[in-house]
Structure 1
Amino acid sequence: MLAPIVLFVYNRPWHAKQTLEALSKNILADKSILYIYADGPKVNPSIEDLEKIKETRQTIREKQWCKEVHIIESDTNKGLADSIVNGVTNIVNRYEKIIVLEDDIVTSKGFLKYMNDALKLYVDEEKVMQISGFIYPIKTKGLPETFFYNVNSCWGWATWQRAWKYYNGNTRELLNNLSKQADFNTLDFNGGQGNAFYQQLVDNLEGKLYTWAIKWHTSMYLKKGYCLHPRYSLVRNIGHDNTGENCDVNERLTYQLLAAQIQVRKIPIVKLDLIIQRMKEYYESGSKEFHNSLANGKNINMLKKIKRKLQQIKTLLNVYF
């Protein structure tokens, strides 16, 4: 049986349509079940927000995007974090596996096949806790077609009930468990990115943030879990236009080229020094771009965009070893 797909939408009809159009063109889409969770309006919504929510809900009903489509609409606003955690938990407990998308993730035609192949191949490997369809636009020379390392990208991903049961949404417990290991540096890429991920947990504890991905990231880290990645991305995030809840402008990711298909073969579950090196190079290239802009005296708006880009790389580049 193929894994069910879960898509989370809210108030971005254009983004949702691009995501659904791409998904419908996937190999196996005509054999797959799709669940669409549509979040509801916030308290005292504007007329514009209500119209966008209405248009989004019309959009998701435009076509028969997959073999089966089930729409779950909320009358109230649960927020992205609660919507994803509750929706994933409900569906993965029912089917024991799941493929997860948000409304700004455009997939290549081989995305569903890659996900289903990997879910089947590694179903009994307890150390493998997630399949990712995304990889940053790193240098690919010398990299195998798929590889493992300790990452939980939330841009087009899949998991099993056996792994998701370890998701811990209690930030205080996560911080306490981390303190027992006295290992904050490896959570934060061995200190290479300051304390970005640890700080995200602290911000969640203090109420400055309300996010789910850092908690899944940390839950996997505490279980010493691995994530399978493709050499080339099978997804593109189109939400880097300041419309997303947690995404700023990032042109390097917006125009990333996608792989049509990725072949999945069983490989050893070990992390590669080469991928860690390539990720460091990617991060450092972002730093060079920022410093070069200072030297060239670009305008303040461009500097702000690059600063946001660097911060995004720091906080979303979920690398630890």
Structure 2
Amino acid sequence: MRDTPVVVIAYNRPDKVRRLISRLEELKPTNIIFAVDGPKPGKPSDVTKVSEVQSLVNKFTWTDKVETRFRPTNLGLRAAVTDVVSHAVSAHGQAIIMEEDTLPGKNWFPYAEEMLSRYRSETSIEHISGYNLVPDKFQTKQGRGSRLSRYPESIAWATWDRAWDKFDGSLEWALNASTSEIAKIVGSTAGAIRWKQNFADAEANRISTWAYRWIASMWSRNSYVLSPNQNLVTYAGYDEGTNSLMKAPWSELDLFEGPIGSVLETNPVLDESADKWVGEKVFAETPFGVARGLAITAALELRKQNRARKAKRK
């Protein structure tokens, strides 16, 4: 089995990074890439917080294989993530990625390592998720094994170079795909319209997101996500996340700490029931979601303009 690097993506939240490192110390992954984005210009508090986060590299005491990737200035979420993931998979062929506001359970790294090995040559699978939100009753397999999905989650995941090398940051497919093309993927016209809104927000830089670009890249190739039917990671980013405007309209599932064998069952298939739940609950692929999307776009545009005005005054 490969010594897959665990990429820790951090910025300016030392308390969350400290908590994540404490959990990693319990699990003891041996190969770490610690990536910290730089402070934003004109934000003195950022300099202090980012410096504090960088100093936490000294907490990785259980391994001597720690690579740092500290940025002197702020790249932003989109560029910071794509930069370090590209670096990691180029150097190692595959990577496990953890954002600073996550906590892995004991099964996440073994699951990711096994699935990276098992499906490395299965080119239709490009992403492995660790964060499952779908309750058992909406899953075909009712909490056992893994499923295929159209929706990659972006806080704790893994991928290979053969998939990530095809990442298209330009959103070319997303901006040119018709509503009917996207509807064939997500299952509804409302869902397709909602995703056209998401892609437009990303293209206009109203939201700094690599994740929508990754979703579009995968959809353009008709590829899939492998997701456990149990939740292997917990998340605590809705309180102060970069792109969070509201509390999530779902409840996080309990962390699965049972025997990993039941999650490793093979022969995953596309679970349309689970994807329908994700589409409606997580991505608001409903007529109401489309209407709310218009309001979100307006709020994001206002925030973007306010930031631009503040930057001009400095």
Please tell me whether residue 202 in structure 1 is matched to residue 203 in structure 2.
no
Deviation at 1:18, TM superposition (A): 1.4
Please tell me whether residue 270 in structure 1 is matched to residue 304 in structure 2.
no
CA-based RMSD: 3.0
CA contact (8 A) 1:128 1:227 kept: yes
Q: Which whole-Å CA distance do the structure 2 matches of 1:197 and 1:280 have between them? A: 10
Please tell me whether residue 257 in structure 1 is matched to residue 258 in structure 2.
no
* Cα distance per residue 1:175-220 (max 9 Å; x no partner): 23x24x9513245552344623221211222232231100100111
CA contact (8 A) 2:202 2:212 kept: no
Please tell me whether residue 119 in structure 1 is matched to residue 116 in structure 2.
yes
Instruction: Note the 1:210-249 alignment, pairs <5 A.
Output: 210-241=208-239, 243-248=240-245
Instruction: Note the 1:51-66 alignment, pairs <5 A.
Output: 51-64=48-61, 66=63
CA contact (8 A) 1:172 1:205 kept: no
CA contact (8 A) 2:34 2:69 kept: yes
Aligned partner of 2:74: which letter? N
**CA 1:58–1:254: 2 relative to 1, 3 Å:** farther
Aligned partner of 1:162: which letter? R
Q: Which whole-Å CA distance do the structure 1 matches of 2:205 and 2:78 have between them? A: 13
Match of 1:165 in 2: 165
**CA 1:265–1:255: 2 relative to 1, 3 Å:** closer
Match of 1:89 in 2: 86
**CA 1:183–1:66: 2 relative to 1, 3 Å:** farther
Q: Which whole-Å CA distance do the structure 1 matches of 2:174 and 2:283 have between them? A: 29
Match of 1:153 in 2: 153
Deviation at 1:139, TM superposition (A): 3.1
Aligned partner of 2:112: which letter? M
Match of 2:8 in 1: 7
**Structure 2 length as normaliser, TM-score?**
0.80
Q: Which whole-Å CA distance do the structure 1 matches of 2:159 and 2:227 have between them? A: 13
- Structure 1 range deviating more: 190-199 or 130-139: 190-199
Q: Which whole-Å CA distance do the structure 1 matches of 2:282 and 2:80 have between them? A: 31
**Structure 1 length as normaliser, TM-score?**
0.79
Aligned residues: 285
Deviation at 1:38, TM superposition (A): 1.0
**CA 1:270–1:139: 2 relative to 1, 3 Å:** closer
Q: Which whole-Å CA distance do the structure 1 matches of 2:276 and 2:203 have between them? A: 32
What is the SS of the residue equivalent to 1:148?
strand
CA contact (8 A) 1:188 1:197 kept: no
Aligned partner of 2:266: which letter? I
Deviation at 1:231, TM superposition (A): 1.3
Q: Which runs of 5+ in 1 are unaligned?
A: 291-306, 312-321
* Identity percentage of aligned residues: 24
What is the SS of the residue equivalent to 2:35?
strand
**CA 1:124–1:237: 2 relative to 1, 3 Å:** same
Aligned partner of 1:155: which letter? I
Q: Which whole-Å CA distance do the structure 1 matches of 2:54 and 2:199 have between them? A: 33
CA contact (8 A) 1:240 1:254 kept: no
What is the SS of the residue equivalent to 2:58?
coil
**CA 1:188–1:18: 2 relative to 1, 3 Å:** same
Deviation at 1:237, TM superposition (A): 1.2
Q: Which whole-Å CA distance do the structure 2 matches of 1:21 and 1:253 have between them? A: 27
Deviation at 1:281, TM superposition (A): 7.5
What is the SS of the residue equivalent to 2:188?
helix
What is the SS of the residue equivalent to 1:64?
coil
Deviation at 1:73, TM superposition (A): 1.1
Q: Which whole-Å CA distance do the structure 2 matches of 1:76 and 1:254 have between them? A: 36
- Which of 125, 131, 135 is 1:138 aligned to? 135
CA contact (8 A) 1:5 1:33 kept: yes
CA contact (8 A) 2:134 2:277 kept: no
Q: Which whole-Å CA distance do the structure 1 matches of 2:277 and 2:173 have between them? A: 33
CA contact (8 A) 1:3 1:98 kept: yes
* Cα distance per residue 1:38-87 (max 9 Å; x no partner): 111111123x2222112212223223254521112111111111011011
Aligned partner of 2:275: which letter? I
